[in-house]
């Protein structure tokens, strides 16, 4: 694979990549190494103008082109037979509009960097994913989410996008425009997003509390109450036994809904400082119960460290919260099959939204996540059993994680899949932003 770098940082990265390649280490894979890109060329763009030229040149040559984020997806969703374009090196140049309560920023910025910049100025995002190292463009394109019964996915904060369209022109699409709801969680299927406008709010503090060993039956008896007990609630389980290993409650201070400081919750004792994912304490935000700024408490991982070596695979399925107790019971019945391959499961919730390809489209959602040991063949062999158990609940897969669902299944669970495909075909009739992943799943027409 040929790399074209731009600017000083790009040249340094290219030299590093060349050095790694000389040692036989390929760098052109997803962060977790679960997928090797087939694209012959990655360009690290240093300006929007350069992205426009790259796309126009590809269009003239009849070649394909796609955006690449921070590579934290686990499958070939970003891949292309043509050029992969990273917008990460472009100056993010964040601009706050205090009246509209938005920030407009380069889409290659990582959430951790944007969070620190906003917090310094007294502003906040409504939520974060578990990892702050992912890019705004890549995360919002796949419907990345945190947790909270009342909190939409990160994509729901998007108010406008600037994107390089199939003819190389720079186009702005705004919340309220026709088709905008089809253009946010769009998997890079119609263009390269260069700047994103996100809703912001005044900064706030969050306190984390951990409770160990919650009886499954108590949690399932009032699941909506349990997941709604704080601003953001996560449960961690290995699916074995009668108890859930850990509940992590992130309480937004001054919300008045805080169980903070209580010694027991749902029959489980509170624990000071908690270690999740068996990560060293230094890597997680939960090692202390002290209240902290939103950007240092809502993600599970700290931005100033490098969490995990990427020795993992992830899968995730979204069901309607009304179905969640039955869906969780169905997965628990597979606990003995799941546990040998599992590192940890996390259960989170999101609010319903209107974004066509969102996992939470028009459904209050329970997200059932699996972090697997790095045994891809064994995981892929097991996933159909989990998907069959969740089929009665019309489970939708996370677009960026490993699943085995085909186009027919996705058409059944995603009511706007055909509308999305029609929109992408209209915006990009030649299919230059298409790829095999999207075509096999019915997101783009097969070519």
Ligand X SMILES: Cc1cc2nc3c(=O)[nH]c(=O)nc-3n(C[C@H](O)[C@H](O)[C@H](O)COP(=O)(O)OP(=O)(O)OC[C@H]3O[C@@H](n4cnc5c(N)ncnc54)[C@H](O)[C@@H]3O)c2cc1C
Closer to ligand X at the Cβ: 166 or 266? 166
Task: Report, in Å, the least distance between residue 207 CB and ligand X.
Answer: 20
On whether the CB atoms of residues 323 and 304 are closer than 8 A, the answer is: no
Q: Is residue 420 at the binding interface for ligand X, with CB under 6 A as the rule?
A: no
Please select the residue that binds ligand X; options are 64, 126, 145, 302, rule is CB under 6 A. 145
Is the distance from CB of 94 to CB of 109 less than 8 angstroms? yes
At 355, list the tokens.
Answer: 């974004």
Binding mask 48-77 for ligand X (x = CB under 6 A): ------------------xxxxxxxx---x
Measured CA to CA, the distance from residue 50 to residue 164 in angstroms comes to 10
Longest dimension (CA), the chain: 65
Output the smallest distance, CB 311 to ligand X, in A: 11
Size of the site for ligand X (CB under 6 A): 33
Pick from 89, 92, 115, 137: which binds ligand X (CB under 6 A)? 137
- Which lies closer to ligand X via its Cβ, residue 241 or residue 376? 376
138 binds ligand X (CB under 6 A): yes
| Interface pattern 189-208 for ligand X (x via CB under 6 A) | ---xx---------------
Q: Within 13 A of 150's CA, how many CA atoms are on the CB side?
A: 9
Instruction: Tell me whether residue 291 is exposed, middle or buried, using C-beta atoms within 10 angstroms of its C-beta: 0 to 12, 13 to 18, 19 or more.
Output: middle
Residues 264-323 that bind ligand X (CB under 6 A): 314
Helix (H) or strand (E) holding 370: strand 365-372
Binding test (CB under 6 A) with ligand X, winner from 39, 102, 142, 283: 142
Locus of tokens 């960026």 = 400
The answer to whether 187 contacts ligand X (rule: CB under 6 A) is yes
Q: Is 87 near ligand X (CB under 6 A)?
A: yes
Residue 172 or 264: the one with the smaller Cβ distance to ligand X is: 172
Residues 379 and 137: their CA atoms lie apart, in Å, by 28
31 part of the interface to ligand X, by CB under 6 A: yes
DSSP 8-state assignment for residue 157: G
CB 312 → ligand X: shortest distance, Å? 7
8 Å CB contact between 414 and 56: no
CB contact at 8 A, 190 and 182: no
Instruction: Note whether 50 and 89 are within 8 A (CB).
Output: no
Contact status: 188 vs ligand X (CB under 6 A): yes
DSSP, res 296:
G
Least distance (Å) between residue 44 CB and ligand X: 13
- CA–CA gap between residue 300 and residue 434 (Å, rounded): 33
Instruction: Kindly state the smallest distance separating residue 263's Cβ from ligand X, in Å.
Output: 29
Beta-strand pair 243-252/170-174: unpaired
H or E segment to which residue 422 belongs: helix 417-427
Q: Provide, rounded to whole angstroms, the least separation between the CB of residue 363 and ligand X.
A: 15
Q: Is 248 an interacting residue with respect to ligand X (CB under 6 A)?
A: no
Contacting positions for ligand X (CB under 6 A): 31-32, 66-73, 77-78, 87, 107, 129-131, 134-135, 137-139, 141-142, 144-145, 187-188, 192-193, 314, 398, 400
């Amino acid at each position: 694979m040929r790399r074209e770098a731009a600017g000083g940082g790009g040249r340094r990265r290219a030299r590093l990549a060349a050095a790694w390649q000389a040692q036989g280490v390929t760098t052109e894979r997803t962060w977790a190494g679960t997928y090797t890109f087939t694209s012959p060329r990655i360009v690290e763009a240093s300006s929007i103008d350069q992205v426009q030229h790259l796309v126009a040149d590809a269009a003239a040559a009849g070649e394909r082109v796609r955006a690449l984020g921070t590579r934290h997806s686990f499958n070939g969703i970003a891949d292309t037979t043509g050029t992969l374009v990273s917008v990460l090196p472009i100056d993010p140049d964040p601009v706050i509009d205090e009246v509209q309560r938005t920030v407009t920023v380069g889409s290659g910025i990582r959430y951790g960097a944007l969070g620190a910049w906003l917090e310094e100025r007294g502003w906040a995002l409504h939520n974060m994913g578990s990892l702050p190292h992912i890019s705004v463009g890549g995360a919002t394109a796949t419907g990345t989410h945190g947790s909270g019964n009342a909190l939409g996915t990160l994509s729901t904060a998007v108010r406008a996008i600037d994107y390089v369209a199939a003819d190389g022109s720079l186009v702005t699409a705004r919340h309220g425009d026709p088709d905008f709801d089809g253009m946010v969680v769009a998997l890079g299927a119609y263009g390269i997003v260069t700047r994103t406008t996100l809703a912001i709010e005044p900064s706030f503090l969050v306190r984390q509390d951990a409770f160990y060993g919650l009886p499954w039956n108590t949690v399932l008896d009032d699941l909506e109450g349990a997941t709604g007990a704080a601003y953001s609630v996560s449960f961690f389980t290995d699916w074995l036994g009668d108890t859930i290993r850990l509940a992590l409650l992130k309480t937004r201070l001054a919300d008045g809904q805080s169980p903070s400081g209580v010694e027991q919750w749902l029959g489980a004792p509170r624990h000071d400082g908690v270690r999740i994912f068996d990560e060293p304490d230094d890597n997680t935000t939960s090692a202390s119960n002290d209240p902290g700024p939103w950007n240092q408490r809502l993600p599970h991982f700290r931005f100033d460290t490098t969490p995990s070596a990427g020795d993992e695979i992830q899968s995730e399925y979204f069901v309607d919260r009304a179905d969640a107790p039955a869906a969780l019971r169905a997965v628990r019945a597979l606990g003995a099959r799941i546990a040998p391959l599992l590192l940890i499961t996390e259960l989170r919730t999101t609010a319903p939204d209107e974004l066509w390809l969102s996992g939470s489209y028009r459904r209050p959602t329970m997200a059932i996540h699996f972090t697997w040991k790095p045994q891809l063949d064994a995981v892929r062999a097991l996933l159909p059993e989990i998907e069959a158990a969740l089929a009665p609940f019309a489970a939708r897969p996370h677009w960026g994680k490993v699943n085995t669902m085909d186009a027919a299944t996705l058409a059944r669970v995603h009511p706007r899949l055909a509308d999305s495909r029609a929109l992408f075909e209209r915006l990009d009739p030649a299919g230059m932003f298409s790829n095999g992943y999207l075509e096999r799943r019915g997101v783009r027409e097969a070519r």
